[in-house]
Amino acid sequence: MSQEGVSQEMPHDDHHHGPDKGILRWLYTTNHKDIGTMYLLLALGSLLIGGCMAFVIRAELFEPGLQLVDPNFFNQMTTMHGLIMVFGAIMPAFVGLANWLIPLMIGAPDMALPRINNWSFWLLPFAFGMLLSTLFMEGGAPNFGWTFYAPLSTDYAPPSVTFFIFSVHIMGISSVMGAVNVIVTIFNMRAPGMTFMKMPLFVWTWLITAFLLIAVMPVLAGVVTMMLMDIHFGTSFFNAAGGGDPVLFQHVFWFFGHPEVYIMILPAFGIISHIISTFSRKPLFGYTSMVFATSSIAILSFIVWAHHMFTVGIPLAGELFFMYSTMLIAVPTGVKVFNWVTTMFRGSMTFETPMLFAIAFVVLFTIGGLSGLMLAIAPADFQYHDTYFVVAHFHYVLVPGALFSILAAVYYWLPKWCGRMYNETLGKWHFWLSFIGVNLTFFPMHFVGLAGMPRRIPDYALQFADFNAIVSVGAFVFGLSQLIFVYNIWRTTLGNKGEKATDLVWEKPTGLEWTALPSPVPYHTFQEPPKVD
């Protein structure tokens, strides 16, 4: 949403076909803003639940020797933590941002398919309710890791695995409907004159993400259906004793799983592009190259899935292919980082909370990318595979990557959503505690991983004790600092504590007048009018 065009924004058009008061309003609403808000609240709830599970994991690993929980329960926590963070926190948050922002950014009155929009949200609380309910079933929750490799998840799983499979199916249906809605909205409801190459980058990244979702969600549905068949109907897709192949599971799962990790980062690229441009007070450098880089990342994401499988015994030619194609993804990603840094270069930068999160994103996401490049080297991956080095790598991509971008987006657009400014001091405290906590948590994991500590273990050898204590302290600092964020959002939206936001939210009052700009100006041409010297 350009800063200049905001004052003409349409009023909140309450077409929610139903009672105006209480829970029914939220149940029946077809308004994209209401639905976006519900997605964001669901994501926040999932983040806090998944975070509590991470607390259990890190408390158990604070020192060696069994301390708190049974090893089987520890495995349930690692599995549920991963599933809830991926499917419950990151993805719904991005869908919520898409619902709120895409219609406003392209000048549409709402999403194209409002009733489907409502349904795709309301499927999710039931899916997550079902997933969480497995914790209370006989045999406990799924305990086979968030990648649920067969035959561990088929032949040796607790009975609750069937509920887990059904839950995954429902989430997938929700994702596909949301993605169809995004594509139809962007294709058919852009304002007159808004060509594709004039769309805001957040809209572009979400359009590409939506195509990825439609392509890979049926693959996930396929693999969990094959699991269901193996468990209940006597097939042997993944059972070698019946002529099946456990490695087949990994191929099908990662053909979904690799594009999935890009689904969780592409919308972040759009968010960061907006924020860096605004707080550098410059147009984004290289808009066109950003669009093409995002598209090429999405295409390449389909041909690199077996880099998760270097150790399963694929042929040398396969290892070379997946090694080089994985390294190739570093090129468009490097283009994006270059463009962000160049946008900041010689800009009139200010460092409000969204910008701090955006800069941290660029720095820490780059660290995650570099460790990913290390993991792409097949012979080296034989050493890194299934160690804490891998845990460090993907948490550097997904926590300072996906999560920081979501937090940045909320701080950045919240004044537009509710008309009030959040408390900047609390925002800065939240940022610095998160930044210190996240690095304290995940940086030492590189070292214990390189020293040989395996992932997904409830206990470990004595030589890893010091680093693990540091990691656990960092995890609690990072987790608890999110309560500052929750309080800040609450006092701004429900507490009505913040000062009223202006039309140009991020204007810096310096006594100088803004230059008048002709209107309308193509979105990507500017973020805010330049200052007069």
Tell me the per-residue pLDDT of 143-188, one tens digit each, with 9 for 90 and over.
Answer: 999 999 999 999 999 999 999 999 999 999 999 999 999 999 999 9
Q: Residue 174 catalytic?
A: yes
pLDDT at 508: 65
Of 32, 33, 58, 258, the active-site residue reads 258
Q: What are the per-10-residue average pLDDT scores of the chain (533 residues)?
A: 40 50 89 97 98 98 91 96 98 98 97 97 97 96 96 94 97 98 98 96 98 98 98 96 96 97 97 97 96 97 97 96 97 97 95 97 97 96 97 97 98 95 97 98 98 96 96 98 98 88 77 40 45 56
Of 190, 308, 395, 524, the active-site residue reads 308
Domain-wise residue ranges, the chain: 23-515
Of 174, 353, 371, 492, the active-site residue reads 174
Q: Residue 308 catalytic?
A: yes
Q: Residue 81 catalytic?
A: yes
Cβ 58 vs Cβ 122: under 8 Å:
no
Q: Residue 17 catalytic?
A: no
Of 60, 110, 352, 381, the active-site residue reads 110
Q: Residue 260 catalytic?
A: yes
Of 415, 417, 409, nearest to 506 (Cα)?
415
Of 385, 420, 428, 455, the active-site residue reads 455
Q: Where are the beta strands (DSSP E) in 397-452?
A: none
List Cβ neighbours of 171 (8 Å cut-off, separation of 6 or more): 87, 123, 124, 127
Candidates 1.10.10.10, 1.20.210.10, 1.10.8.640, 1.10.3720.10; CATH matching 23-515: 1.20.210.10
From the CB of residue 286, how many other CB atoms can be counted at a distance below 10 Å?
18
Cβ 405 vs Cβ 443: under 8 Å:
no
Cβ 267 vs Cβ 274: under 8 Å:
no
Q: Residue 258 catalytic?
A: yes
pTM comes to: 0.92
Q: Which tokens belong to 28?
A: 């029946």
Q: Which tokens belong to 67?
A: 């301390």
CA dihedral angle for residue 331, residue 334, residue 340, residue 345, rounded to 10 degrees: -120
Of 336, 393, 430, 524, the active-site residue reads 336
Of 154, 280, 333, 387, the active-site residue reads 333
Q: Residue 333 catalytic?
A: yes
Q: Residue 307 catalytic?
A: yes
pLDDT at 507: 79
Q: Which tokens belong to 321?
A: 């292919």
Dist CA 470 CA 482 (whole Å): 19
Of 307, 395, 446, 524, the active-site residue reads 307
Of 262, 287, 396, 422, the active-site residue reads 262
Q: Residue 393 catalytic?
A: no
Q: Residue 58 catalytic?
A: no
Of 81, 190, 274, 395, the active-site residue reads 81
Whole-number Cα distances in Å, 483 to 47, 80, 430, 478, 486: 11, 21, 8, 10, 5
